[in-house]
Structure 1
Amino acid sequence: MDQYLPEKVNINGEQFRIYLTQEEIQQRLKALGDQISLDYKDKKPIFIGVLNGAFVFLSDLMRYVTIPCEVDFLKLSSYGDEKVSSGNVTDLKNIDANIKGRHVILVEDIVDTGLSMNYLFKKLKQFGPASLSAATLLHKTEATHHEVELKYVGFKIANLFVLGYGLDYAQEGRNLGQIYILEE
């Protein structure tokens, strides 16, 4: 299958260039999948993906997990169509699964301020999971202002605006097969 892998991309009049290649991403996802498979052996975890951004990461990550598992999704909004978080988290879709007594892995595309992840941990703990951990493709460590516990991190990155591989800018760019950064 061919993927959309241009060298540069223009979205909303802004130019982006490759930051993480398809190969780099897939190698890291395999390592994460191997670790999750080892950590959750005999536990049948349920992955909870945060829509819309995490669907690509979660889909590929699950293909590297070699133990039985389940998946569900929830949806939040903290950005709208902007490049920076509004500082407010709004629930747009709740999970359907009963996670009481389950081993839950919360999957996010990117953690920057930590606001959404912090909110989700508090929310999901109320349902009484046996365990709750988090996986993120990207972590902007410099931008994190809220305490977050991330067990599985694909890449730690600087405080850059990124898109592609599920990440968007005003809903565009999610279909890019690599991660791109805004050119200065």
Structure 2
Amino acid sequence: MNPDHISLHNKQFEPYLSAERLMAAITELAVQLNQEYANKTPLFVAVLNGSFMFAADLMKAMHIPCEISFIRVASYQGTSSTGKVQEVLGLTEDIAGRHVVVLEDIVDTGHTMKMLLDTLGAQAPASLEVATLFMKPECLQHELAIRYVGLSIPNDFIVGYGLDYDGLGRNYPDVYKAV
């Protein structure tokens, strides 16, 4: 049973999205990706740390030949984006001529995704798309064509299902929002 409220550092959070709702959104994304990438053997590039639960559950729902790799970037401090993206752990696979789908937990300002798409796009993939579990359209500061969006949400600060507040909260199966 999941708690009605959680406390992380100095903030309180209330239930927002259930694990069942998240799995329904991921299943819809998987259906789309399985259809559109049939016969293409895509490389999924999961952005750590936040996307680890999303990536794991999405991969379990993929029924086509595919690969997964991981990249780690940092752009958050506390509850807000720093606006500066630092690549921490890079991609080791050669993506030239590959169909690449970046897996992200949340796209809000778009700073991280813009940097990743520019960096990966320079490596000449056959195609480059993004699949994000959450999108905050009202926060977007870059022109990004995000093709695969699980859930569009308002500008609430959320934790759980891989998303954290200064390292805490990733372990909850549901998503909570700050009150």
TM-score bracket for this pair, using the shorter chain length:
over 0.9
Partner of 2:102: 106
Q: RMSD across aligned C-alpha pairs, in angstroms? A: 0.9
Give distance in 1, aligned partners of 2:7 and 2:68: 33
* Structure 1 gaps, min length 5: none
Q: TM-score, normalised by structure 2?
A: 0.97
1:180 matches 2:176: yes
Alignment of 1:85-164 (within 5 A): 85-164=81-160
SS of the residue corresponding to residue 60 of structure 1 reads helix
Give distance in 1, aligned partners of 2:45 and 2:121: 13
* Structure 2 gaps, min length 5: none
Partner of 1:45: 42
SS of the residue corresponding to residue 132 of structure 2 reads strand
One-letter identity of the residue aligned with 2:10: G
Instruction: Give 1:13 deviation, angstroms.
Output: 2.6
1:64 matches 2:61: yes
Q: Write the deviation string for residues 72-115 of structure 1: whole angstroms up to 9, x where unpaired.
A: 011111113x1000110101010111111100000110000011
Q: TM-score, normalised by structure 1?
A: 0.95
Give distance in 2, aligned partners of 1:147 and 1:138: 17
Q: Write the deviation string for residues 125-173 of structure 1: whole angstroms up to 9, x where unpaired.
A: 1111000000101101110011111111011000110000000001000
Give distance in 1, aligned partners of 2:35 and 2:5: 37
Percent identity of the aligned residues?
41
Give distance in 2, aligned partners of 1:18 and 1:83: 18
Would you say how many aligned residue pairs link Structure 1 and Structure 2? 179
